Amino acid sequence: MNYKKLSTLIFLLLLLIPINNVNAFTYIDNIKDGNYIFFLIDLESGSHLELSLTHEGSGNFTLFLFNRRPTDSNVNEDKSLKSRIFNNPPTVAYSLADNPYINYTATADKIYYIEIILVSGGPDTYTFISTRYHANNTLNDKELTRYYLPIIPGFRLEFLLISITFAVGVTFILIKKKMSK
């Protein structure tokens, strides 16, 4: 038997076998106590999502998954969690473990929001890993999108409008005085 031809044939057949390589979204960051980070992810019904977080120091991290857009960070002024985060309808899963982990299967086609909060023990560096599978168990390794709350502290609208009206009025009066001279 010709072993050289047989080994070449086996080698070529091995090239036809697909090699499954598990890829996941990985994000590494360092945050301080009371800080939070949001991500969003688009899931189809039946898709499977695994979220895990590990940290280097002694930080107390929490991990939340929402099925509606959050409008608040859910962190109190004293850097503790607001109690409504646990029983608020948008919260579909959460983990308070030392290394938080969420394993979730989507029930509807929608955008889900992920929140990572460092409650205490910081500053700390963490590694966040997200793996998403379609309903047919094929890996979908798209990156998560960073999400920022659209809440910008600033002046109240009434004071801003009064200030603009006053500034325009004063400018108009000064221009009119200058033109009359």
Mean pLDDT throughout 23-47? 85
**Per-residue pLDDT tens digits for 105-115:** 888 888 899 99
Ordered domains of the chain (ranges, CATH): 24-170 (2.60.120.380)
CA distances (Å), 19 to each of 22, 141, 155, in order? Answer: 10, 16, 57
The pLDDT tens digits of the residues spanning 67-103 come to 888 878 888 888 888 888 887 778 888 888 888 999 9
Structural contact between residues 20 and 77, judged by C-beta atoms closer than 8 angstroms: no
Is residue 61 within 8 A of residue 55, CB to CB? The reply is yes
The model carries a pTM of 0.68
Q: Residue 147, exposed/middle/buried by CB under 10 A (0-12, 13-18, 19+)?
A: middle
CB atoms within 10 A of CB 144: 18
Q: Please report the sign of the dihedral spanned by the C-alpha atoms of residue 77, residue 82, residue 88, residue 92.
A: positive
Residue 112 to residue 31: CA distance in whole angstroms: 23
102 phi, psi to nearest 5 deg: -125, 130
Per the CB < 8 A criterion, the answer to whether 59 and 97 are in contact is: no
